[in-house]
Amino acid sequence: SQQGEEDPQALSIQEGENATMNCSYKTSINNLQWYRQNSGRGLVHLILIRSNEREKHSGRLRVTLDTSKKSSSLLITASRAADTASYFCATVGSGNTGKLIFGQGTTLQVKP
């Protein structure tokens, strides 16, 4: 079974708006990562947040982590049409750091 559950499954917004995606997981983690996948392509690493961190920023991306709620969110500010893609969270468990387990992803469409 997959560790991460993402919400919403699909999101459609206008260019310039902010997009927020949420990820919940089941077991304790070492770190949580977010990836982007353009249609028909491989995944691209966006950001990694460790279990002892609460927030990280990278350009227009902001990731938060709440280990008490076993959840994370990815915020993309001032979205662009080029942000249209699927976004996945993935977790590395604290018990077995060899496994990176993915959620089912959120499909984001940014309309120009």
Partner 1 sequence: NAGVTQTPKFQVLKTGQSMTLQCAQDMNHEYMSWYRQDPGMGLRLIHYSVGAGITDQGEVPNGYNVSRSTTEDFPLRLLSAAPSQTSVYFCASSRRAPGDTIYFGEGSWLTVV
How many residues make contact with partner 1 (CB under 8 A)? 26
Does an H or E element contain 13, and which? Answer: strand 10-14
User: Is 13:20 a contact under the CB 8 Å cutoff?
Assistant: no
Does the protein bind partner 1 through residue 73 (CB under 8 A)?
no
Q: For partner 1, which stretch binds (CB under 8 A), given 13-21, 38-46, 52-60, 65-73? A: 38-46
Report how far residue 31's alpha carbon sits from residue 82's, in angstroms, rounded to the nearest whole number: 27
What is the contact surface with partner 1 in residues (CB under 8 A)? 1-2, 4, 30-31, 33, 40-45, 48, 50, 88, 90, 92, 97-105
